[in-house]
Structure 1
Amino acid sequence: MADNHSFDVVSEINQVEMHNAVTQAQHECTVRYDFKGTKAAIEYNKKDNTLTLTGDHKGQLETVLQVLKEKMAKRGVPVNAVVRGKLEEATHDSVRETMTIHSGIESDDARKIVKDVKQLKVKVQAQIMDDKVRITGKKVDDLQAVIAHLKENGPKYPLQFVNFT
């Protein structure tokens, strides 16, 4: 059995499920009693992969974020994919926070992943390909050991392991 097996390490979210989670959170913001008559809102920009949360004050903004995270978790979207931005004052005594949704593996993290895989002392090769890392090896057990290691010691954003062959 001289075949090589491989998989790709990526960081991406399901855009459809993210859209559904945002839609559900927006709906809850419009019907919840404690949000009636307030500026609590969520805007989702798919093109830029950003979320803009608005609220009357910081506490309300945190509650809106909590609602969004609950909907994301129910839809299977990794909650730690949301990278918080800076809290800023908006018009009419409200606050706003623009958050980005993490996508792709950053080059520094990709190099760190390759370095970690080499330090594992298993017979696999790691190769950076754009915003993903491809791991190849002869034994499936070695690849599974790499996956277990990366799940434990990977970057703070979510990783997925795809195209396992």
Structure 2
Amino acid sequence: MAETKDIAPGTYMLELGKTFVGQRRSDDPSYHTLRYDFKPMSVASSDSDTYIAFGTNGDVHVAVPTDGDNMSVFKGSKKEAKTKECLLFFDKKTGKVRLEKIASNISVKKTRLVESILSSRRTCFSSSSFPGADSSSSSDSSTDDSDSDSDSGSDDEVISKITQ
């Protein structure tokens, strides 16, 4: 990302990008913002790949490589951007300034590792702790609606790979 100090003072011609053209093709680029509530220091450098999966009902999953072979997974939602939200691109080589509309704003929160949570629950709450509990069945009555998933697989319907 260019800092304002990297842009030389002067007058530039502003070009409206393809997102402002009335008739857009499906293969034209679209632009989105991605806001993390928390991004751990263990996330690998910005030159690594980020994977995004869009669900049918506006839910989004983002996977970012961390140090080693692990991934940090974030879950959130995608909302339509306001009509006045735009990005300004500056090309140092050509000196051109281009304005593009933002299609959507994506907000995500870091998810917990399901395996580690389940294993800690099994350790803390064994079936012998609760009279009449069956160790073969498990029920999760989490009150956090953001973690509720259906097993329909719709979360992974469309997968995009974004290279930074």
Structure 2 length-normalised TM = 0.27
Select the structure that is richer in strand: 2
The structure having more radius of gyration, on CA atoms, is 2
Select the structure that is richer in helix: 1
Structure 1 length-normalised TM = 0.27
